[in-house]
Amino acid sequence: MATFTIGFTKISAENFFARLTDAFEPRFFHIMGAREIEKGLKPERLQRAYLLCSEEKSHQCHRRLVIDYLKDRWGRSLEVKHL
């Protein structure tokens, strides 16, 4: 199993990437809020639309975060399907 060293502490690769994800998500939500992306995009534009992401693992996917943010702002049901 791969490990990373942070300071003097070794952690597993899985824990390392979990920490990155935990730190990233709140910042990403803040950026979307500051840019008010919900105002520049109409819900109708997402009907039959595809948001693409290059992340290998679905828990690292930006699409999920964008959809979660828009669901909260618009109060609508939106769905992510990972291919």
pLDDT score at 9: 65
Strands 3-6 and 9-12: antiparallel
pLDDT score at 3: 56
Give mean pLDDT in consecutive 10-residue pieces for the chain, a chain of 83 residues. 60 66 80 93 83 74 85 85 71
pLDDT score at 20: 64
Inside any domain, residue 16: yes
Inside any domain, residue 83: no
Inside any domain, residue 13: yes
- How many CB atoms are located within 10 Å of the residue 72 CB? 12
Inside any domain, residue 21: yes
The reported pTM is 0.65
Number of domains in the chain: 1
Range of the domain at 61: 3-74
Read out DSSP for the chain?
--EEEETTEEEEHHHHHHHHHHHHHHHHHHHHHHHTGGGSS-GGGGTT-------SSGGG-HHHHHHHHHHHHH---------
Inside any domain, residue 82: no
* Terminal CA-CA length for the chain: 27
Write out pLDDT tens, residues 63-80: 888 888 999 999 888 877
